[in-house]
Structure 1
């Protein structure tokens, strides 16, 4: 009997998702090999490749459907039946939640992000209470010290799948035991139960052992980052046991982990106990399922809007020359729309801004660039928009608005984690907070530069402060690769009058940057200047930047630590 067209369409979409997630798992499964080979450039390429896989397979399915349907027009009832049939395929499907997101992506690609209604696509999940049913094998193994914590740790570490030798395993075990005893008493550790994930979490130049420490007092993270030394032997770099530290490791400003997760919902639920402050969206993104994370972000937004009566307002801070930014007062995200026209001093184009945001999505964010989710045809009830914001939207982005009377559609925007703008934070900070913020700001600049990213516009207003006090870059319209910039020293004046002239006495090309000038716009406040000179004066010297460029061009990939250097075991040994 011939298969109905709607049945064929539903099956084609699900088969396309199977192919996509199969390739996703293949790339992920190779992470151990890349780590063991210390092939850090392959690590970076695999990260980009895995991100691209999703859109690539959506495109393949769209082309298949165009061929199957001969691109005919379908009414709303037909499209609703396709979704119903697809839903019937999912009750026993192990990755149903991401399969729903894949269906949404295919629908949006086919219909240009129009007519996004719950009867035609999965605005909300078809199985909101279901996480997972049966797990083919346990996600983690249990270990107990039984009076010998060092012996248990040796068993855990020797049982890892890594095929490289340890530099000095007894030393590292002593470090871990000492770190645990700094936080927990011997009485607590005697009764401890360690749950260790079967899969390692790979990112950058580290393989992370992720576990839980179960005590009568509660559940604590147990995180061990494993690194290479110069000879290719392994060592444990630190031990993290607080939920705040774990939150930073799995933070929204970091690249996605490579962890083999055939059942992503099971992995998300397992992680939730040690990352209670993370939303479902953030957890999916952390393990590389960023498109489903985007779906969950939108659902979290819809839930918030439904449960509150707040109006959208212009986001606090200095207004941008390229982006219009708005938010809801109690919501933890902001919305960013590219303006139709930029300020005259901005030479960037709309296309270039889109490229910059995509660059950030694909690049190693090193904990210093906020991840973004991109949406098209974003619908907002007009009565929820403050008069000031509505006027701003109509003035700055009229080409991106569609007025439906009681609703407006914003044709394109980004959703991003909300932070306190650094300039506002510094205005309210005491001396110690100000010093810490300056140190964090400089560290952010240096870590971005080491990862081959030059922020372009380094003003404090383009950076935010997270709830953990970390400084993160979030304004990407002038971002570029470090290797594209020409860092120059300002030539000495030819005559005394040169320094008084309104125009420079030296030629300036488009990619020229003079780090000496940073001091003039970053350090107008004497207190800020003092703190800056104390910890980051090297940023004002072109030689520092050229040195970083030389390392990048030589192919060196810098280490990225999701914790402070003083927490490293090597630093503790020195102290």
Structure 2
């Protein structure tokens, strides 16, 4: 085994990772420019480019390595030594945890049949093993003796976005009032009071989010200020103190932020202090390092497995025609596997379903579509698989399974957040909760439409309800781009033959959609059915769908507000 080849392999891996990070940062750095000039189409295209980077660079690195490794590709001893060399090379890097994940990604693609192995991969290291660096470049600090007015004014000076403010003085008044109403009614500033604001701005859609915290009364009070850039200039849209709203900004149904960070682990630590009910893997996802988020999820999952005893079981709800879905009751995710054969009338292939999931992964989820981690060769303890689940898996996804003496291995699986299926929720909730749920259901469909997504199968079983009672779509096998659909009025019959025809007497193209027909399957619960139809009349009007299409085609872009319109400082201000 050549020491020179081992060293060259480690260097190759590091060069591949550094190329990925360089390209990632270059694309991230373009975002403030697009925000400044209000080029929303370019901003979205730039976001998609960044999402594709990781997989493309891993494949390039793998192909380059395969050309030099030859017989060493599947050598256990070779990779074990290469990992040790690589560990030394990255030991002083400020993004060491990301470099470890990159190594894992390459070796999984290069070493055929490799299972998770601690000798060959970075399995349990974790983000908190990274070195701690001075925080000078992480956040601005504003001492309490400056006084609230000066602090707020300085924050706006520090974040000018290169664009004139629409009305800076009014923004200052709004922000001062927000702090007084929420904090100063309960706490009095002391000598240890201070304000810290992350220097990096979090960009998404048409918004730029400034995140900070204020120390009062011996504890930190986090806040988020969303800024928007409208035709009249930049303005502070609101100031968020509600932890549930802040958590929603980092939701699994939101697209990743475009945000620059030199030391990811320390930004994650700051965010974890600001939004403590988010897991580490969710925060890495949110700042765009979703592949490392996947690594942190797996670590969290292994830890949970070691501390729990319950069995994996089939998920509640109507069995899917395309997916077999199961869960571990004590862990808040579901495992989704594409069936070997689809129940009629489904006619697509397994690869077509995978393409739909890729489509969602590269799209703006606007707070209405669940994020998904895709795994290959995922290992589960065989003695924790409920017998009924194992029987179902054998009969529906057998080609994606194999077993050892003590493990069930899934060749391919999607993992996403567990929610209560909307149809089950509506079966048991109160009338008031049902009204809120059907409002959310319609809002979810319309907000996806504005992001150029037509869900296809809109039955309530394909939507879930979160703990915050938000309705999220999670069944992607029939989604299409909205602009590819043809919304039509249903022709009225004019003859007896047309009235009593057993099949449609008019031509229907594959992409034709008749919104009037939605009422037949959308809501079955009688006490809220008419309420839903009245509340969401636009859903059943073809002209409304066409207007959404026209706006998308015009390139003006949409903004998915991740907080209620009622808390905006200027609710009617256009962007």
Residue 138 of structure 1 corresponds to 137
Residue 220 of structure 1 corresponds to 221
Task: Assess if the C-alpha contact under 8 Å between 2:95 and 2:263 holds in 1.
Answer: yes
The alpha-carbon deviation at position 244 of structure 1 amounts to 1.1
Task: Assess if the C-alpha contact under 8 Å between 2:41 and 2:556 holds in 1.
Answer: no
SS state at 1:162 partner: coil
1:548 aligned to 2:539?
Answer: no
Q: Distance in 1 between matches of 2:128 and 2:508?
A: 61
1:4 aligned to 2:11?
Answer: no
Task: Assess if the C-alpha contact under 8 Å between 2:74 and 2:111 holds in 1.
Answer: no
Change (3 A) 1:413 1:4: same
The alpha-carbon deviation at position 405 of structure 1 amounts to 3.5
Q: Which moved more, 1:137-146 or 1:485-494?
A: 137-146
Residue 241 of structure 1 corresponds to 241
The alpha-carbon deviation at position 569 of structure 1 amounts to 1.3
> Residue deviations 1:78-104, cap 9 Å, x none?
221112222233332211111110001
- Over the aligned positions, Cα root-mean-square deviation in angstroms equals 1.9
Q: Distance in 2 between matches of 1:459 and 1:187?
A: 47
Q: Distance in 2 between matches of 1:512 and 1:234?
A: 41
After superposition, residues 76-475 of structure 1 pair within 5 angstroms as 76-112=76-112, 114-125=114-125, 129-135=128-134, 137-146=136-145, 148-186=147-185, 188=187, 190-191=189-190, 192-216=193-217, 218-231=219-232, 233-475=233-475
> Residue deviations 1:14-33, cap 9 Å, x none?
12111111111111112111
1:34 aligned to 2:42?
Answer: no
Structure 2 length normalisation: TM-score? 0.95
> Residue deviations 1:529-573, cap 9 Å, x none?
222123211101111111111111111201211101111111399
SS state at 2:304 partner: helix
Q: Distance in 2 between matches of 1:123 and 1:264?
A: 19
Residue 510 of structure 1 corresponds to 510
Task: Assess if the C-alpha contact under 8 Å between 1:132 and 1:266 holds in 2.
Answer: no
The alpha-carbon deviation at position 189 of structure 1 amounts to 5.7
Task: Assess if the C-alpha contact under 8 Å between 2:322 and 2:338 holds in 1.
Answer: yes
Q: Distance in 1 between matches of 2:127 and 2:54?
A: 23
The alpha-carbon deviation at position 499 of structure 1 amounts to 4.2
SS state at 1:456 partner: coil
SS state at 1:199 partner: coil
Change (3 A) 1:474 1:28: same
The alpha-carbon deviation at position 112 of structure 1 amounts to 4.0
Task: Assess if the C-alpha contact under 8 Å between 1:199 and 1:259 holds in 2.
Answer: yes
Q: Distance in 2 between matches of 1:393 and 1:570?
A: 53
Q: Distance in 2 between matches of 1:104 and 1:573?
A: 47
> Residue deviations 1:431-456, cap 9 Å, x none?
21111111111111111000000011
SS state at 1:188 partner: coil
Q: Which moved more, 1:447-456 or 1:345-354?
A: 345-354
SS state at 1:207 partner: strand
Task: Assess if the C-alpha contact under 8 Å between 1:25 and 1:262 holds in 2.
Answer: no
In the alignment of these two chains, the number of paired residues is 571
Q: Distance in 2 between matches of 1:512 and 1:112?
A: 45
Q: Distance in 2 between matches of 1:90 and 1:482?
A: 45
The alpha-carbon deviation at position 396 of structure 1 amounts to 0.2
Q: Distance in 1 between matches of 2:71 and 2:164?
A: 58
SS state at 1:89 partner: helix
Q: Distance in 1 between matches of 2:226 and 2:195?
A: 16
Q: Distance in 1 between matches of 2:128 and 2:490?
A: 63
Structure 1 length normalisation: TM-score? 0.95
SS state at 2:570 partner: helix
Change (3 A) 1:129 1:164: closer
Change (3 A) 1:573 1:10: closer
Change (3 A) 1:510 1:162: same
Task: Assess if the C-alpha contact under 8 Å between 2:224 and 2:241 holds in 1.
Answer: yes
Q: Distance in 1 between matches of 2:186 and 2:121?
A: 54
Segments of 5+ residues of structure 2 without an aligned counterpart are none
Task: Assess if the C-alpha contact under 8 Å between 1:333 and 1:415 holds in 2.
Answer: yes
> Residue deviations 1:335-363, cap 9 Å, x none?
10000111111122211111110111110
Change (3 A) 1:14 1:147: closer
Change (3 A) 1:219 1:74: same
Residue 529 of structure 2 corresponds to 529
Q: Distance in 1 between matches of 2:407 and 2:200?
A: 46
Q: Distance in 2 between matches of 1:425 and 1:96?
A: 43
